[in-house]
Amino acid sequence: MSSTEAHTAKRQRTDDAQINRSDIWKSDGSVVLQAANVQFRVHWSVLAQHSPLFSDMQGLPQPAEHHRVEGCPVVELFDDPADVENLLNALYTPSFHCQDVLPFPVVRALVRLGRKYDFKYLFDSAITRIASELPTTLDEYDTKTAAFYKTIQEYKGLTFDLISLASESGIMTALPIAYYRVLKWGVARLLQGVDKLDGSVAFLSPLDLSRCVIAREKLLMKQFQPGYSLGWARKWVFDDCTGSTVCSNAREAVLAKYMDQALMGALLRPSELKGFKFCSACAKHAHDCIISGRKKMWAELPGVFGLPPWKDL
C-alpha cells in the first residue's frame, strides 16, 4: 500500500467492524490500542519506556485466538479516545505537552491517563501546571494577576472544569482556591453552571456544589469577624484617628459595599480599598488588619470547605 493509500485508510472504517483508525498509526508499530471505536497503532517500546504498567503488560503471553490487526495485538482501553490521542501525542512529541499554554483537554488527559497507567512524568507535568494556577500558599496566590490562567488555555467554565478534574482525580491541594474563585461569582452561577463556547455547560458535582454553597455563607459572615479581613470595618478599636467623620464614613461605605452586595472579601487585598478615603493612621490600621486577616483566612480556607488542613491535603 502506498503512503497516500495508507493515510486515506486511517479515516476509513475497517471491513470487519465499525472501527476508525486514528491519525496516530505508526506503520512499524507493534501494538494497537483501541479506545471505544478508535484504534491507534503505536510501539510497545515507547509505551513500556514511560509506563511500568505497559512494560509488564508487554510481557504477558497472548492467547492464540487473540484478535490482531496487521499482525499487532489489540489492547482495549476503556478510556475516551480523545484522552488517548492526547496522551500518545505527548509521548511521541514531547514539545506537544511542554508548550507554555496547553488546552485543558490535554491537561485532563495527562492527569487521567497518566495516573491510571502510571505515566509518571506526564502526570507530574500536568499536576505541576495545575498547581501553578491553583496555589497552596498565599504568597503564590498574590503573584497571580487579574488574568487567572497563564499555563492553561482560558475559556468560560474553565474553573468549573478544573474543580471537576481535581475532585475526580484526588488533587485535593487544588480545590480550596478553585472553590474560592467560583463562589465569588454568586449562588446563581454556582447552581446554573457556565455556558461554554462549544454549547456545553460546565457545572459542579453535587459534592462540589454543596461545599461551595455552604462555604460561601460561612465566609460572608466570617470576613466581618474580629481578626479577619473586614473585621476592622465593623468594629473599630483604634483611637488615633485624625479625621473621625471622613474615616467613619469610609468604614460605613466599606461595610455597605461588602454587606449590601454580599461581596466576597475574605482574601481582600489592601489595594482593593484605594477608593476609600482614610486618614493616614486609619489607613495603616486598615492595611495591617487586612494583611493579618487574610493570612488567618488563608490558613483556615480548606476547613471552610470541609477539607483537611493545607498540610494534610
What's the first-to-final CA gap in the chain, in angstroms?
55
- Write the pLDDT tens digit of every residue in 225-242: 999 999 999 888 888 999
Distance (Å, rounded) from C-alpha 110 to C-alpha 65?
Answer: 33
- The percentage of residues in the chain with a pLDDT greater than 90, rounded to a whole number, is 79
Domain residue limits, the chain: 3-93, 224-304
What is the pLDDT averaged over residues 48-59? 92
Higher pLDDT, 243 or 311: 311
Cβ-contact 197, 154 below 8 angstroms: no
How confident is the model at residue 65, as a pLDDT? 63
Cβ-contact 124, 60 below 8 angstroms: no
Does 260 score more than 50 pLDDT?
Answer: yes
Query: Residue 31 to residues 3, 23, 45, 57, 176: CA-CA distances in angstroms?
Result: 20, 15, 10, 11, 42
Report the CATH fold assignment for 3-93: Potassium Channel Kv1.1; Chain A (3.30.710)
- Write the pLDDT tens digit of every residue in 126-146: 999 999 999 999 999 998 765
Confidence of residue 77 (pLDDT cuts 50, 70, 90): very high
Extract the C-alpha cell encoding 133.
Answer: 494556577
* pTM recorded for the entire structure: 0.88
Confidence of residue 179 (pLDDT cuts 50, 70, 90): very high
Count CB neighbours of 44 within 10 A: 18
Q: 188 — phi, psi (to 5°)?
A: -60, -45
144 Cβ partners below 8 Å, 6+ apart?
Answer: 135
